[in-house]
A and B are shown apart, each in its own frame.
Chain A
Amino acid sequence: MKEPANPAGSIAPTVGVAAPRTIAVDLDDTLNNFTETLRHGQFPYDRAEALPEATFHRYLERIQNDAPEAGDLLSTEYSFCRYKIHAHCYRMARARADGVEFMQRLQRNHWRIVICTQRDLRRANDGTRAWLKENAIPFDYLFMALNKIVFCKAWGIRHLVDDDVFNLAHGGRYGVNVYYPIMPKHQSLPEHAARGFQTFTEVERWIQE
């Protein structure tokens, strides 16, 4: 991807130095157990929700099954309820121990680490940073991107650790090496170039190749 000719206008260019190796790492269902937390977590009804209790439980069931917003409106009661349930999961999800060690080794080996998530960081930035700190997960930058393959391609990032089947399917075509924690949803996918792993030590080996 070509960099624009006049980056940042009058913001002067700096003298180039050797670029560090860079990796993008997803959070939900990659470094944590988001879906397990969502499916099996406890989400008690709060009267301050301004939702009738029956509506809340109906929404909760749909949210736990990852049902999309029905209808043609962007912001609804359902979308707000889903955001709050997801935010609760972001806080409660457990970090994978081998993932934490992997990230710490990346830092020790001077990798540039980009946390790349589909979370809405406008609202989730503070909570995400707090969770990363609590779990001693180092990183350099925090980015949100719906299309992580485009993001990695644009930013020249050759390695992406992510569970999303879209990224598995499309990474190879755009020169992005995708590594994914093997999950039931990855069964029966069309042929792709991504590599599935049981533990992060496998990823560590692959990114050195």
Chain B
Amino acid sequence: MDPRVSLLKEFSRGFTHGTAKVETEQFGFPFLDRLLSDGASLEYGELTAVRLLHKYKLVNISERRMDELLQLHITKECNVCRYFDASANDVFCFNLDNNHKANNTVVIPEMNLALHTLRNCLQGLGCEPLIVASGRGYHVWCRLDEPVENSRLYGFMLRAAVQALMAFHGTAYDHQTIKFNFYPDVNIHNVVSLRLFGSDHAKNKVFSRVLTPDRLLGEAASWDYFGDFLRNKAIPPARFTAAFNALPALL
């Protein structure tokens, strides 16, 4: 097995088993029949507004087929997006998107400010994030040694996001130009999925490069960083509890 597939499987260990969204420019009933030939079912498909890019939400995917899809993900023949577990997860992610209708793959100053503040906030709490360019913005992932209940993860992310948005106070920047989504979201865990690290974005064909405090890494360096993140940056339970308690509670 490709070692990169092994890394993605390790990262994905807590996600909903057998469920994924596949983004690809392949389509048609013969293709769909093959996609579903190993016992998977299609919940729904989508033709997007970008070229002939299609998305397929699949359930009951066998482990063998999921491995094949991950291999296709890293060879950039499709994107695999995963769904978070309904009750508890060992990863969580802030999804920051440019909220403009047009020209929304541009990194706007508001994004830089929110990202910089969020990174500092998380690092200050001992929670080292993995920040990945996502197309319209960034995914800010954190990984835990053990699964934590979704409502607690959501509460933590909400508090941290408030800290990030506090930086807008007294500036000319408009916080509504960026959109925060939290994964897992306690209300819509079965609705939204996140693209895994390690592929080209389906729309703009840009690799999911890792953003360090200094720069955007290239593809090979991003994989090295991702491997190191998996091995060394998971947050122990006691540290997460301390981080949660250190953030001001919301009214």
Residues of A in contact with B (beta carbons under 8 Å apart): 1, 3-4, 6-14, 16, 19, 22, 72-76, 112, 121-123, 125-126, 141-147, 150-151, 154-156
Looking at the assembled complex, report how far the CB atom of A100 sits from the nearest CB atom of chain B, in whole angstroms. 21
Residues in A with CB closer than 8 Å to B176 are 73, 76
- With A75-B99, A154-B52 already in contact, the answer to whether A13 and B44 are too (CB < 8 A) is no
> Is B34 a contact of A14 with CB atoms below 8 Å?
yes
Q: Which single member of A10, A126, A146 contacts B49 (CB below 8 Å)?
A: A146
Instruction: Sort chain B's interface into a size bin.
Output: 35 or more
Report whether A74 and B104 are in contact in the complex, using a CB–CB cutoff of 8 Å. yes
A2, closest chain B residue (CB): B28
Q: Are A72 and B45 in contact (CB under 8 A)?
A: no
The 5 closest A-B pairs by CB, nearest first: A145-B47, A121-B44, A142-B44, A7-B31, A143-B45
Chain B residues with CB under 8 Å of chain A are 25-35, 37, 42-47, 49, 52, 57, 65, 68, 71-72, 75, 77-78, 99-102, 104, 176-177, 179, 188, 190-192
New A-B pairs, 5, CB < 8 Å, besides A8-B34, A76-B176, A123-B191: A3-B28, A11-B35, A19-B29, A142-B45, A156-B29
Residues A151 and B47 in contact in the complex (CB < 8 Å), given A7-B30, A7-B34, A11-B35: yes
A144 touches B44 (CB 8 A): yes
Find the B residue at minimum CB distance from A151.
Answer: B47
Q: Are B34 and A11 in contact (CB under 8 A)?
A: yes
Kindly list chain A residues whose C-beta atoms are within 8 Å of the C-beta of B192: 122
Say yes or no: A123 contacts B188, CB within 8 Å: yes
